[in-house]
Amino acid sequence: MIHTLPIRIYYEDTDAGGILYHASHIRFCERGRTEFLRDLGWTNSGIEKELGILFVVRHMDVDYLKPAGLDDELTLQTSVARVKKTSFIMKQELYLSKDLIFSMNVVLACIDRDKKLVKIPENIRNALQTGG
Q: Contact at 8 Å (CB) between 25 and 94?
A: yes
**What positions carry a catalytic annotation?**
15
Q: How many whole angstroms separate alpha carbon 81 and alpha carbon 79?
A: 6
H or E element: which one contains 62? strand 53-64
The single-letter DSSP state of residue 97 is T
